[in-house]
Structure 1
Amino acid sequence: MRQVLNQYPAQRDDIADLVTRRPLPGPGLPQVDPFLFLNHHGPQTYCPGNSGLPFGPHPHRGFETVSFILKGEMAHLDSGGHESVIRAGGVQWMTAGSGLIHAEISPASFKRDGGPLEILQLWVNLPGRLKMTKPAYTGLQREDIPAIPVDGGVVNLISGGFGGVRGPIESLTDVAMMTVELEAGAKVDLPAPSGRAVFFYVVAGSPSANGTPIKPQHLATFAVDGDTITVKTEAPATILYGHADPIGQPVMSHGPFVMNTREEIVRAIEDYNAGLFGKPPVVR
């Protein structure tokens, strides 16, 4: 079993009226290669007549974004013509690749009626050979995601494998991602294959990982001395969990662009300004 090395608290960094905590990047932890960035929005409750999510049209290049809608709804529109509204329990997986402009906003019904909202937004890096791949988008509702029963809970499998099941997303780099929902007294063995980087963020609760209690809204890092992480709970807990092969390449980031070199960042800005990412989606 992999030993817990450290755990890092999510830092509060609200965006307008959206409660936001960010465990990655954070003090002493620039990345968990290939996982670059995680924003934890909420949980909070919006009143009727709200302005909704503040993420209007903006560009990306060189990586993938994965959004987990835990509570509420989120609408997606992008310059590739993709459009959807994902409800609670669903996931949006977008490959920005060579360049895409997207908006992540609240649908009109949510702005009118309000309600609970909690969203996780994860950035996953791409290796240099795939940074200019064709952009793509997949929106999954809860019913599209396999819910695999475990002892005292369920694993919602988005990509990769678990318990002999494959998730509906076939990642370009074989990233495994899942959310783990556990009741009090649960126990589950999560795979942590040799050589793979592990992503372990406690959304809620205080589970133990291989005997070490992990605090709520903390990101845990692990040694590479095993291939299993055993999670136990004394109270209900929710975990965002994944594993992937480290890329091991330089990371040059500038706002919404993540490349390998400064020259590639400059080219991304020039291409965006030249309109090569397509027309921004029209937000109504």
Structure 2
Amino acid sequence: MRKIKKIYKAVSAPMGDLVTYRALPTREVEYIDPFLFLNHHGPQVYKPGNNGLPFGPHPHRGFETLTFILDGDIMHQDTGGGQDVIEAGGVQWMTAGSGLIHAEISSEKFKKEGGPLEILQLWFNLPAKHKMAKPNYIGLQKSEIPVVKEDNGKVNVNVISGSWDDTKGPIPSLSDIYMASIELQAGGSFSTTIASDRNIFFYVVRGAVNVNGEKAAKLQLVEFINDGEELKVEALEDSYILLGHAKPFNEPVVSHGPFVMNTEEEIHEAFRDYQAGKMGVWK
């Protein structure tokens, strides 16, 4: 089995009235190549007549985002033409690539009615060869994500990219990144094999699990050593986890705010291009 290097607790990083925990980066762990950043918003309940999510128009270049909507919704719009509202159980995968401007806010319905909200956003790096790829956006509702049932239905694997057994995720990854969200009933378990040259991303959103002999509870990120290939997970209570894996890029990572590149000069160029309107103009 794959040995665990360390288990990290996400840190509190509130954004105004939005409850937020950040699992990556923290003082203890910078990133797990190519997984760069994870913000866990909520869980919380918004009252009717709220202002919703605070993520108005802002630029990105050089990486991808994957957003999980567990409760509430997100209304997405970008200068590449992407626009929709994704509801609970759905995901949004955006390839910023060469650059775009986007906004992620709550729908008018959510702002009017309120309700529970829990959303996670994960950033993946892009390798140098794909940093300037054409921007792309894919939004999927819950019904569009294939589910693999394990352990007599006690485990639901929502396959987003890559494959689980014979089930292929609907989102093609530029960098062969596998991603799934996994819901487990108490006592439910699964095992899977992940090549030892791939880094694992493992975050417990809700509940608590035993993973390869160690307990990991909600708001904890598990970092593994690249030795064995087997992953064994058992739910100690009803749980929800994010599981991903990918080959590390082993490239320099230079990030500044909304841009992630390989050199400082590329960061300066990104700011110049944004200011010159090369990432689109927000209307």
Which residue identity lines up with residue 232 of structure 1 in the other structure?
E
Residue 160 of structure 2 corresponds to 158
Partner of residue 176 from structure 2, selected from 174, 177, 180: 174
Q: Using the alignment, how far apart are the partners of 2:46 and 2:65 within structure 1?
A: 24
Q: Which residue of the partner structure matches residue 64 of structure 1?
A: 64
Moved more, 265-274 or 212-221: 212-221
TM-score by length of 2: 0.98
Q: Which residue of 2 aligns with 1:54?
A: 54
Aligned equivalents of 2:168 and 2:81: distance in 1? 28
Residue pairs, 1:17-56, within 5 angstroms:
17-56=17-56
Cα distance in 2 between the residues matched to 1:75 and 1:56: 11
Match of 2:219 in 1: 217
* Amino acid of the structure 2 residue aligned with 1:202: V
**In structure 1, distance between residues paired with 2:138 and 2:268:** 29
1:15-35 deviation per Cα after TM superposition (whole angstroms, max 9, x unaligned): 111000001001221100000
Question: Is residue 135 from structure 1 mapped to residue 167 from structure 2 by the alignment?
Answer: no
Amino acid at match of 1:100: L
Aligned twin of 1:74: 74
Deviation at 1:223, TM superposition (A): 1.2
Instruction: Kindly tell me the number of residue pairs found equivalent between the two proteins.
Output: 281
- Aligned counterparts of 2:202 and 2:65: Cα–Cα separation in 1: 17
Per-residue deviation, 1:81: 1.4
The amino acid of 1:264's aligned partner reads E
**Correspondence for 1:258:** 260
Residue type of the alignment partner of 2:239: A
Q: What does residue 274 of structure 1 align with? A: 276
Offset at residue 236 of structure 1 (A) = 0.6
- Give the 3-state SS of the residue equivalent to 2:53 in structure 1: coil
For each residue in 1:120-170, what CA deviation from the matched residue of structure 2 results, as whole angstroms up to 9, or x when unmatched?
Answer: 100000001100000000000001100110112100000001021110001
2:58 and 2:193 mapped to 1: Cα distance? Answer: 35
State, as a whole percentage, how many aligned pairs show the same letter.
54
TM-score by length of 1: 0.98
Separation of aligned partners in 1, 2:195 and 2:64: 22
- How far 1:215 moved relative to its partner? 2.3
Secondary structure in structure 2 of the residue aligned to 1:226: coil
Per-residue CA deviations over 1:56-112 (Å, capped at 9, x if unaligned) read 000000000110001111110000111010010000000000001000000000000
> Secondary structure in 2 aligned to 1:171?
coil
